[in-house]
Every structure is written in C-alpha cells, then in structure tokens.
Amino acid sequence: MASPSVYVVALALIAAIAGVTTEAKEFVVGDETGWTINFDYKTWATGKDFRVGDKLIFKYPVGKHTVIPVNGTEFQNCIKPAATQPLTTGNDTIILKTAGNKWYICGVAQHCAQGAQKLAITVKPSWGWSEPPSIAPSPSYHVNAPWAAPKKRPFVERSFPRW
C-alpha cells in the first residue's frame, strides 16, 4: 500500500488539473467598428487568444455585408464558395468548435478584395495553457516521516502493479 504522502501528491495533482478551467470569451469582430470595409482585421486579431468554445460576433447593418467561413485559398483570393450559405443577420455568432486556422470574408460585391473585409485567426485548444503542461518527475528522495513506508522502489514503480 502506498504511503499517505503518495495520496497527498496524487490528490494535489488531480485538483490542479481539474481546477484549470477557462470560461469561453465573446469577441465582437472589429470591436466598436464591427464588420465593415476598410478596417484592419489582421491588427485587430493580433494578440487575441482565441480558444475552442469562444464566440466570434460579427455586427453589421443588415443587407450591407455578409459573413462567409472559407478555407485558406478562398481567403487569399477572396473566393466565395458556391456551396456555403452566407450569414446575413447583422449579428452573426460563430462558435469556435475546433482548433486551427479559421478564415472569414464578406461576400458582398468586392468588399473582400477591395475593402479588405476579411478575418484570419488561429484558434487554440480550450485548455488553460498555450502548451501542454509538463509534469515534474517524482522526487528520488525519501521523506522521513513516522507514517512513511520504507522506500524499496521509485514512486512510479510502486504506483503500478507488475503483470
């Protein structure tokens, strides 16, 4: 049976991992300016931490603009994919469901090509770290406490049965 210190370490690790939660954020694209032509969306997106579960909100006057999710090539060339139905409510919300690069353009006239009405972002996983956390190796020393079991093998070997 493992010593109580092993259980304390295990519980602390579980609590630390379980305690890392992030609340989804809402990003109004373009902030007060909204979704419009002649706005620098690349600069707007710089420094923002988009995560899975976050929401993009595109605000614009109905009938003046649209929002179309596209791929990277369509984004670069301002191509409106025929199979994609544009969003047109003027208050469109897109939930970021997967990590990776995401691209959006306006499908009205030449708003994308001439008015630079396009947005590219990178969505990160929903966890609280930029990179997966590293777990420190178990200490190789023995804690001298009245309740500690004598050390026979390293923690990792004692924690898992041998088959």
Tens digit of each residue's pLDDT (9 = 90 or more) over 11-34: 555 545 544 555 899 999 999 999
* Residue 21 falls inside a structural domain: no
Residue 82 lies in a domain: yes
Residue 16: inside a domain = no
Number of folded domains that form the chain: 1
Task: Please check whether residue 59 lies inside any domain of the structure.
Answer: yes
Q: Is 148 helix (H, G, I), strand (E, B) or coil?
A: coil
- Terminal-residue alpha carbon distance, the chain: 17
Residue 13 lies inside a defined structural domain of this protein:
no
Is the pLDDT at 159 greater than 90? The verdict is no
Please list, in sequence order, all residues whose beta carbon lies within 8 angstroms of the beta carbon of residue 10, skipping any fewer than 6 positions away. none
Share of the chain above pLDDT 70, in %: 64
State pLDDT tens for residues 34-53.
Answer: 999 999 999 999 999 999 99
Say if residues 67 and 104 touch (Cβ distance below 8 Å).
Answer: yes
Q: What is the pTM of this model?
A: 0.67
The partner residues of 68 in beta bridges, in order of sequence, read: 105
Q: What is the pLDDT of residue 140?
A: 47
CATH number, domain of 42, equals 2.60.40.420
Cβ burial 23-45 (10 Å sphere, 16+ → b, else e): eeeebebbeeebbbbebebeebb
61 domain-assigned: yes
Token pair recorded at residue 99: 């990590």
Would 110 be classed as within a structural domain?
Answer: yes
Domain range holding 55?
A: 26-124
Span of 68-82, 98-112, 140-154 with lowest mean pLDDT: 140-154
| Residue 163 reports pLDDT greater than 90 | no
